């Protein structure tokens, strides 16, 4: 009995010492600042922060959990927009609000986590470093914690900084795909032969062999494009701004053959786990390409392909595969809008 009394006294003393140290030496809340820079224009960066539907697609706080359920409330953009979230697997829930917006300059968020009535306040400021580079500054003010919970303040800033690092990587992937698409659309000059450098891409898609009959081939392309698109968007849960234009890869001169083999895939920022053996990854290494932008019926692409091959032969260049990049989604009974690329080398 005496032992338990002594133990109780020791416990009380330890708790008292802990509480006293927390009270006198640890702040009841945290204030800190984090700065990052991204290689994208100010307006494109800001639009990813003031639209909460965009924000939750790349912010690691929301993307890190597969069990997160989010409800969005109007207005979906700017001051007054808000969300509520529930993560049953990780036992988290909360609400987030945009309380203030100064377009392309400042946003003020309030985040209520779990049952805490005091919000985390996050002010985010944006500054254009150059036309293509933006600085983002987070000013974070955490809610007051009770004496017994103040130990959490030791890792609050590190946890927030880690979340921002992961979020910035996601944001760069999202903006990279959006900017690439915008730049490609702006650079289009149809039926003119150009030289372009192609960066490395990772495609997720399927290999196909099918008849080269005019109508049958295009219907097969549309069908398999839809298979890949549905797998990426539905099974993998990717959003439109998380991946690039779909690409069809085939031999340069197989348009003459009765049977055509091709790979059709969608560019992703990195390889992910897949459970369907019908799909596989394929890497496009950096290349120099002869390029023609083409718009018309699918059969008419042959003339553009022949033009690229003739150019390569005239320049005494060896060539590899033909890539057909669909700038607009291929659909039945409609013209295609695509970039046709022939990789060339000495």
pLDDT in tens, 194-243: 888 888 889 999 999 998 876 789 999 999 999 999 999 888 888 777 78
Question: For residue 318, what are the CA distances in angstroms to 199, 236, 286?
Answer: 19, 38, 16
Is the pLDDT higher at 91 or at 101? 101
* Calpha distance 247→204 (Å, rounded): 10
Mean pLDDT within 284-302: 90
Q: What is the pLDDT confidence band of residue 22, given thresholds at 50, 70 and 90?
A: very low
* Calpha distance 300→320 (Å, rounded): 21
Mean pLDDT within 292-303: 90
Does 180 score more than 90 pLDDT?
no
Q: What is the pLDDT confidence band of residue 291, given thresholds at 50, 70 and 90?
A: very high
Does 11 score more than 70 pLDDT?
no
Mean pLDDT within 155-184: 79
Does 42 score more than 90 pLDDT?
yes
| pLDDT the model gives residue 66 | 77
Dump pLDDT digits (tens) for 193-205.
888 888 888 999 9
Q: What is the mean pLDDT of the chain?
A: 83
User: Which residues have CB under 8 Å from 141's CB, separation 6+?
Assistant: 29, 30, 31, 120, 121, 122
* Calpha distance 334→226 (Å, rounded): 15
75: cis peptide before it, omega within 30°?
yes
Reference 202, options 250, 249, 260; nearest CA is 249
Does 10 score more than 60 pLDDT?
no
């Amino acid at each position: 009995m005496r032992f338990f009394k002594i133990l109780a006294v020791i416990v009380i003393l330890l708790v008292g010492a802990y509480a006293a140290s927390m009270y006198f030496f640890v702040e009841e809340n945290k204030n800190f600042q984090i700065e990052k820079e991204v290689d994208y224009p100010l307006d494109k960066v800001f639009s990813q922060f003031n639209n909460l539907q965009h924000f939750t697609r790349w912010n690691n706080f929301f993307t890190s959990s597969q069990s997160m359920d989010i409800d969005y409330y109007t207005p979906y953009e700017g001051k007054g927009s808000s969300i509520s979230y529930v993560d049953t697997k990780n036992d988290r829930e909360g609400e987030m609000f945009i309380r203030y917006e100064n377009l392309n300059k400042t946003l003020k968020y309030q985040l209520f986590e779990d049952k805490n009535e005091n919000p985390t306040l996050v002010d985010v400021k944006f500054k254009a470093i150059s036309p293509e580079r933006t600085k983002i500054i987070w000013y974070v003010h955490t809610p007051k914690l009770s004496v017994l919970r103040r130990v959490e303040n030791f890792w609050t800033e590190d946890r927030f900084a880690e979340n921002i690092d992961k979020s910035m990587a996601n944001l760069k992937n999202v903006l990279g795909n959006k900017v690439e698409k915008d730049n490609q659309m702006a650079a289009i000059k149809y039926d003119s032969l150009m030289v372009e450098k192609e960066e490395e891409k990772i495609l997720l898609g399927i290999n196909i062999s099918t008849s080269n009959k005019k109508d049958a081939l295009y219907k097969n392309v549309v069908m398999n494009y839809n298979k890949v698109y549905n797998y990426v968007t539905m099974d993998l849960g990717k959003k439109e701004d998380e991946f690039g234009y779909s690409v069809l890869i085939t031999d340069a001169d197989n348009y003459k053959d009765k049977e055509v083999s091709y790979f059709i895939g969608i560019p992703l920022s990195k390889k992910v786990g897949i459970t369907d053996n019908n799909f596989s990854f394929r890497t496009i290494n950096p290349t120099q390409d002869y390029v023609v932008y083409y718009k018309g019926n699918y059969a008419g692409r042959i003339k553009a392909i022949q033009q690229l091959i003739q150019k390569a032969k005239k320049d005494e260049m060896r060539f590899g595969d033909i890539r057909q990049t669909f700038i607009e989604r291929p659909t039945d009974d409609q013209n295609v809008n695509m970039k046709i690329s022939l990789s060339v080398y000495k």
